[in-house]
Amino acid sequence: MRASRNGGDNPAMLEDSIKAAARALSGAGQVMAFTGAGVSAESGVATFRGAGGLWEGQPVEQVATPEAFRRDPLRVWRFYEARRVQASTVRPNPAHETLARWQRRFPAFCLATQNVDGLHQAAGSREVLELHGGLWRVRCTACDRQREDRTVPLPELPPRCSACGAIERPDIVWFGEVLPTDILSAAAQAAAKAEVFVVVGTSAVVYPAAGLVEIAASAGATIIEVNPAASALAHLADIVLRGPAGELLPRIDATLEVS
Q: Is 41 in the site for ligand BJW (CB under 6 A)?
A: yes
Peptide bond connecting 153 to the previous residue in cis, omega within 30 degrees of 0 = yes
134 binds, among Zn ion, ligand BJW, none (CB under 5 to 8 A by kind): none
CB-nearest residue to ligand BJW: 38
Q: Is 120 a catalytic residue?
A: no
Q: What's the CA gap between 227 and 241, in Å, rounded?
A: 6
Q: What's the CA gap between 53 and 57, in Å, rounded?
A: 7
Q: Count interface residues toward Zn ion (CB under 5 A).
A: 8
Instruction: Assign 107 to helix, strand or coil.
Output: coil
* Residues 193-232 interacting with ligand BJW (rule: CB under 6 A): 201-203, 205-208, 227-229, 231
Q: Is 43 in the site for ligand BJW (CB under 6 A)?
A: no
140 binds, among Zn ion, ligand BJW, none (CB under 5 to 8 A by kind): Zn ion
Residue (74 or 143) nearer to Zn ion, CB: 143
Q: Is 164 in the site for Zn ion (CB under 5 A)?
A: yes
233 binds, among ligand BJW, Zn ion, none (CB under 5 to 8 A by kind): none
Q: What's the CA gap between 149 and 155, in Å, rounded?
A: 11
Q: What's the CA gap between 81 and 77, in Å, rounded?
A: 6
110 and 192 Cβ atoms separated by less than 8 Å: no
Question: Which amino acids are annotated catalytic?
Answer: 132
